[in-house]
């Protein structure tokens, strides 16, 4: 599976980069799962003091990936049960980001909408260009 979230580290600062540039870093199931895994790694590493979340390319995140195949959309309209389950999972990931003991900074480098905005707002600080 390709990486949807790139992780780099410089000292006690970890940079998480949404790297689905061709889709404007749109939020899909794969991106959320990769972000969740990265956040879990950070939670376990008590030497991380700052987490910077940004997007690769011209967008931070354009929101939900509405052009993805149905199984990759985190929000679907086919069944209410699937919709609620995926929405709860996405909410837990946003909460995990918000509750990290490290200082979190959203480096908003372009378009930021919908689910991408939820990720930016979950951070302690937001810096936009």
Domain enclosing residue 50, as ranges: 5-128
CA distances from 60 to 8, 29, 71, 88, 125 (A): 17, 17, 23, 22, 15
Tens digit of each residue's pLDDT (9 = 90 or more) over 52-106: 999 999 999 999 888 877 666 665 555 555 667 777 888 999 999 999 999 999 9
pLDDT at 80: 55
* Structure tokens given for 51: 């987490």
Tell the burial category of 79 from Cβ atoms under 10 Å away from its Cβ (0-12, 13-18, 19+).
Answer: exposed
Q: What is the DSSP-derived secondary structure letter of residue 104?
A: E
CATH of the domain at 64: 3.90.226.10
* Structure tokens given for 115: 């689910």
Considering only residues 128 and 76, tell me which one the structure prediction assigns the higher pLDDT.
128
Phi, psi of 74 (to 5 degrees): -80, -15
pLDDT at 1 over 70: no
CA distance 42 to 62: 25
Nearest to 89 by CA among 19, 31, 26, 11: 31
Q: How many domains does the chain have?
A: 1
């Amino acid at each position: 599976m390709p990486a949807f979230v790139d992780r780099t580290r410089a000292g006690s600062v970890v940079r998480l980069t949404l790297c689905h540039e061709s889709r404007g870093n749109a939020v899909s199931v794969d991106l959320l799962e990769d972000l969740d895994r990265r956040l879990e790694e950070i939670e376990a590493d008590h030497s991380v003091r700052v987490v910077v979340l940004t997007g690769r390319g011209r967008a931070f995140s354009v929101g939900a990936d509405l052009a993805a195949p149905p199984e990759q959309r985190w929000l679907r309209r086919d069944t209410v049960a699937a919709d609620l389950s995926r929405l709860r999972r996405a909410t837990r990931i946003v909460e995990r980001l918000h509750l990290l003991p490290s200082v979190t900074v959203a480096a908003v480098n372009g378009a930021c909408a919908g689910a991408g905005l939820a990720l930016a707002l979950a951070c302690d600080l937001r810096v936009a260009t």
